[in-house]
Amino acid sequence: MTAMTPAPTRTRPDLSYLLDHTSHVLRTRMAAALAEIGLTARMHCVLVHALEAERTQNQLAEIGDMDKTTMVVTVDALEKAGLAERRPSSTDRRARIVAVTPEGAKVAARSQEIVDGVHEEALASFPPGDREVFLRLMNHLAQGHLSTPVAGPAPARRPRQRG
């Protein structure tokens, strides 16, 4: 019988778990709330940012941290719902922008109310004086030390099979 090596003693709270878990739960709550009006969080993101300025699909994909395929599917869904459409850019004939329809603008206003409500519910779990401190510290992390992902090692790939 081999003796088990004891696990290392944790000296600090598991920040990765705390951030991952709370982010996951917040996303599930957001998804459920937006689903009530037929939107996803990605659809909301595209509508709101397309209303702010004339933006291409690529620009919106970058803002929403979406790959090209996900962005195309999202804009297709918005077009099918009559909330947005692809149009030629007013400044670059080669580029196409995502334009929000009048109905899409109404839905974006409603979805922003929903998003704000979900965020407010989460922040309401803090004592009032701690809310602003929490937001300030999270912004400090997001704009400072944790603002840029670090490139990890390349994923292991299987060797090609000879056919």
| 104-127 pLDDT tens trace | 999 999 999 999 999 999 999 999
Cα 66 to the center of its chain, rounded Å? 8
Contacts of 145 (CB under 8 A, 6+ apart): none
**Close Cβ partners of 100 (under 8 Å, ≥ 6 residues apart):** 47, 50, 51, 83, 84, 108
Q: Which residue has the tokens 């459920």?
A: 32
Q: Residues 6 or more apart from 53 whose CB is under 8 A from it?
A: none
**131: which 2 tokens?**
């809310």
Measure the CA angle with vertex 125, ends 122 and 129; round to 5°: 110
Cα dihedral 57, 70, 27, 111 in deg (nearest 10): 40
What is the rounded average pLDDT for all residues in the chain?
91
The two structure tokens encoding residue 23:
């982010």
| pLDDT at residue 91, rounded to an integer | 85
pTM of the entire structure? 0.82
- Other C-beta atoms closer than 10 Å to the C-beta of 158 total 5
The confidence score (pLDDT) of residue 84 equals 97
Reply yes or no on whether the pLDDT at 156 is more than 80: no
Cα separation of 163 and 161, whole Å?
6
State how far the Cα of 68 lies from the Cα of 15, in Å rounded to an integer. Answer: 31
pLDDT of residue 158: 59
